[in-house]
Structure 1
Amino acid sequence: MRAAALLLAVALAGCAQLPKAPPADTTEARLGGRISVTVAGDQHNRGTGGAASFELFGGPDAGRLELTSPLGTLVARATWAPGLVTLTTPDGERRFDTLDALTRELLGEAVPVAALFDWLRARPWPAAPHEKTANGFEQLGWRIEPKPPALVATRLAAPVVTLRAKLDGGDESTP
Structure 2
Amino acid sequence: MVAKPERPYWSGRLALQMEEESAQSFSALFELEGSEDQGELILLSPLGNTLGKLKWSSEGATLQTGQQEQTSHSLDALLAQVTGEAIPIKAIFDWLRGIETNAAGWVADLSALSQGRITAQRSDPKPKAILRIAFTH
Could you tell me the TM-score, scaled by structure 2's length?
0.84
- After TM superposition, the structure 1 = structure 2 runs for residues 1-175 of structure 1, keeping only pairs within 5 Å, are 27-42=6-21, 46-125=22-101, 130=102, 139-146=103-110, 147-148=112-113, 149-157=116-124, 158-168=126-136, 170=137
Structure 1 gap ranges (5+): 1-24, 131-138, 171-175
Could you say what the CA RMSD is over the residues aligned between the two structures, in angstroms?
1.9
Structure holding more strand per residue = 2
CA offsets per residue over residues 52-88 of structure 1, 9 Å max, x none? Answer: 1111101001100001110122221000011411110
Counterpart residue type for residue 35 of structure 1: L
CA offsets per residue over residues 20-59 of structure 1, 9 Å max, x none? Answer: xxxxx871110111111112223xxx22212111111010
Structure 2 gap ranges (5+): none
Could you tell me the TM-score, scaled by structure 1's length?
0.67
Query: Alpha carbons of 1:61 and 1:55: their partners in 2 closer, same or farther (altered >3 Å)?
Result: same
